[in-house]
Amino acid sequence: MTLRQAEELLQKYYGHSSFRPGQRQIIESILAGYNTLGIMPTGGGKSICYQIPALMFPGITIVISPLISLMKDQVDGLRQLGIPATYINSSLTLTEMDERIREMTAGKYKLLYIAPERLESGRFRAIFETLPVYLVTIDEAHCISQWGHDFRPSYRSMAQMIRQLPRKPIIAALTATATPEVREDIASLLSIEPAHIYATRLQRDNLSFSVRHEEDRREFIRAYLEAHPRQTGIIYCSTRKEVDQLHQDLSGQGFATAAYHAGMSDEERERAQEKFSYDQLQAIVATNAFGMGIDKSNVRFVIHYNLPKNLESYYQEAGRAGRDGEESECILLYSPQDVHTQKFLIEQSELSPERKQHEFGKLQEMHNYCYTSQCLQATIVKYFGDPGSEPCGKCSNCRKLTEEEEIDLTTEAQKIFSCIKRMKERFGLSTVSKVLKGSKSKRILEWQLDGLSTYGIMKEYTEKQIHQLCLELVAEGYLHIRLNNHSLPVAKLTPKAIEVLKGERKVTGLRKIYKDGPKQSGQAGGLFEELRAVRLKLSQREQIPPYMIFPDSTLKE
Ligand code: ADP
Ligand code: MG
Ligand code: ZN
């Protein structure tokens, strides 16, 4: 069993060309037969880490997964990829269960999904012991630890049970959020050596965090939704009552929202989730019952209307934004009242005094997050035990630090103009943006546009940012849009742009447009902020070369 084979399977079943950071090490460790703990942010690609070894090992891989409601979706997804998988849970009749167990014994499946509670049944345990189980995967492994934010006693007893199996399977534990103490807890319960704990960088570069101390939180949300009409997101509230009220309020004002909480019927919840999945909602207003396993990749914002009880919950919920890698926002609306509510909930809980103390400590950290002047993303990542993270450059604290800074976009403008020039001014802005981004789109690659010398020279930016910047350059008179003889819009350089290319003019006009942008209500972020963030990061890494990226000869009119 080699990594080469694993890569072939990745290509064959999933159509991905390479492993992501972390996936490779985790898979190698599992294939080598070590009990392994993988910590990867939501959306990082944990499923593949156990599914590929499952395909390579003989026998069956058992996957312990916390939510019955998700199993069917996960299994259906695998079947669509051509991977034989099934699940056994309380939604099946006894006859159906027997049927599946029979099929399993006959070797029909590679993966079996079950809830941890299954292993509490003596009958099931007996069957389990007769199956050729090579690998046991524990998804959402933080549920094992009572120091985690989602402790489940059945997870803990399941862990003990697995260790007592006569034939010892390899154990793969996976989670998105684990503080150092939760890691230690998982590792000691499952006999995982420190050398086989893999944590990928938790930082999510495409998320902009902000904390807002708003007087009127509803008004903020209203203005935000109004300013982002074509985006979809999640608004988390801490109680069902607040969910219902906020949803009514917003839908009453004409926003496409739906409510989601555990007090609703299964059908109502399904309907809400479906609408959300199909982009029919601008926002789903939900309690924390919504989210685990939501596979929507283009969630553009996650707003917390209330303070979560700790940073684990917060990062997990906020992390549902931007799983497609595009720029997304995570906004926390702070209100002192929420701190009291959370405190009260801990006090009233059935927890032991020791654990209450622990929960208070976590709430304190959550509170500190709302008042820190350090980078918000770095603060979270540090909380999870990753010390060496740099300021993200785009959270509300990083933005404050640079608020007075000027932004010079001359280099970016030169890159854009060079590209247009090299492409003989025959293409539209979206094609230009794709070339600059280095798009893998077949059309772009096929054309071999421009000998590709401007291909990918702005890859640090998203295609959308580049396009947006192009539009601003049009607005500022650097570019003209003309229709060609096929009536398609193409971009042309104006004399002003040529001056920029020759290094005779700086592009600073943009500052005028954006100077007050970020301060307008509801307009957290914006292009100006995004570009500045990318630049800030670049300038920390390397100096951008000055003028004249391309030789003079290309400038001859
Ligand atoms: P997690 O369980 O860590 O939240 P998933 O396993 O659901 O994440 O994966 C999230 C997304 O990332 C999926 O859409 C998956 O197809 C994609 N993905 C995973 N690994 C890769 C890879 N190596 N290359 C490209 N996409 C990947
Ligand atoms: Mg997952
Ligand atoms: Zn920051």
> What does the pLDDT look like over 342-372, one tens digit per residue?
988 898 999 888 888 888 888 988 988 988 8
**Amino acid identity of 188?**
S
CB-based contacts of 459, cutoff 8 Å, min separation 6 = 436, 437, 438
* pLDDT above 80 for 397: yes
Q: Is the dihedral of CA 215, 216, 221, 227 positive or negative?
A: negative
| Span from the CA of 20 to the centroid of ligand 1 (angstroms) | 9
Structure tokens at 58: 């003989």
What's the predicted TM-score (pTM) here? Answer: 0.62
Q: Which of 18, 40, 47 to mutate to test the pocket of ligand 1 (most atoms within 8 A of CB)?
A: 47
Residue 16 Cβ < 6 Å to ligand 1? yes
* pLDDT above 90 for 137: yes
* pLDDT above 90 for 141: yes
> Higher confidence at residue 445 or residue 49?
49
| Span from the CA of 69 to the centroid of ligand 1 (angstroms) | 20
* pLDDT above 70 for 511: no
For residues 223 and 331, is the Cβ–Cβ distance under 8 A? no
Q: What is the pLDDT of residue 38?
A: 96
Residue 455's nearest CA partner among 418, 489, 480 is 418
Q: What is the pLDDT of residue 467?
A: 85
Query: What is the average per-residue pLDDT within 78-95?
Result: 92
| Span from the CA of 481 to the centroid of ligand 2 (angstroms) | 45
Residue 20 Cβ < 6 Å to ligand 1? yes
- Could you tell me if the ipTM is greater than 0.85? yes
Q: What is the pLDDT of residue 293?
A: 63
* pLDDT above 70 for 2: yes
Q: What is the pLDDT of residue 356?
A: 86
Band of the pLDDT at 441, cuts 50, 70, 90? Answer: confident
Q: Which of 7, 8, 10, 16 to mutate to test the pocket of ligand 1 (most atoms within 8 A of CB)?
A: 16
Mode of pairing for the β-strands spanning 133-138 and 85-88: unpaired
* pLDDT above 50 for 549: no
Tens digits of per-residue pLDDT, 518-534?
A: 333 333 344 555 666 66
* pLDDT above 50 for 376: yes
Ion ligand 2: residues, Cβ under 5 Å? 46
Residue 389 Cβ < 6 Å to ligand 1? no
Residue 400 Cβ < 6 Å to ligand 1? no
Q: Which of 20, 52, 326 to mutate to test the pocket of ligand 1 (most atoms within 8 A of CB)?
A: 20
Q: What is the pLDDT of residue 494?
A: 93
> Higher confidence at residue 318 or residue 323?
318
Q: Whose CA is nearest to atom 15 of ligand 1?
A: 45
> Higher confidence at residue 200 or residue 134?
134
Q: What is the pLDDT of residue 534?
A: 62
Query: Is 485 strand, coil or helix?
Result: coil
Q: Where are the beta strands (DSSP E) in 203-352?
A: 207-212, 233-236, 257-260, 283-286, 301-304, 328-333
> Higher confidence at residue 55 or residue 393?
55
Q: What is the pLDDT of residue 530?
A: 62
Residue 47 Cβ < 6 Å to ligand 1? yes
Query: What is the average per-residue pLDDT within 215-233?
Result: 94
Residue 324 Cβ < 6 Å to ligand 1? no
Residue 46 Cβ < 6 Å to ligand 1? yes
Residue 43 Cβ < 6 Å to ligand 1? yes
* pLDDT above 70 for 516: no
Query: What is the average per-residue pLDDT within 142-154?
Result: 84
Cα separation of 508 and 405, whole Å? Answer: 12
Structure tokens at 420: 């247009």
**Residue 243, exposed/middle/buried by CB under 10 A (0-12, 13-18, 19+)?**
buried
> Higher confidence at residue 118 or residue 78?
78
Band of the pLDDT at 91, cuts 50, 70, 90? Answer: confident
Kindly state the DSSP code that residue 20 receives in the 8-state scheme: P
| Span from the CA of 219 to the centroid of ligand 3 (angstroms) | 25
Residue 20's nearest CA partner among 51, 43, 1, 53 is 43
Q: What is the pLDDT of residue 451?
A: 58
Residue 19 Cβ < 6 Å to ligand 1? yes
Q: What is the pLDDT of residue 169?
A: 92
**Amino acid identity of 269?**
R
| Span from the CA of 57 to the centroid of ligand 3 (angstroms) | 43
Q: Whose CA is nearest to atom 5 of ligand 1?
A: 45
* pLDDT above 80 for 206: yes
For residues 250 and 206, is the Cβ–Cβ distance under 8 A? no
Given the CA of residue 44, which atom of ligand 1 is nearest to it? 3
| Span from the CA of 209 to the centroid of ligand 3 (angstroms) | 7
Mode of pairing for the β-strands spanning 328-333 and 301-304: parallel
Looking at the CA of 379, name the nearest ligand.
Answer: 3
| Span from the CA of 42 to the centroid of ligand 2 (angstroms) | 7
* pLDDT above 80 for 296: yes
| Span from the CA of 448 to the centroid of ligand 1 (angstroms) | 30
Q: Whose CA is nearest to atom 12 of ligand 1?
A: 45
Q: What angle do CA 449, 454, 457 make, to 5 degrees?
A: 135
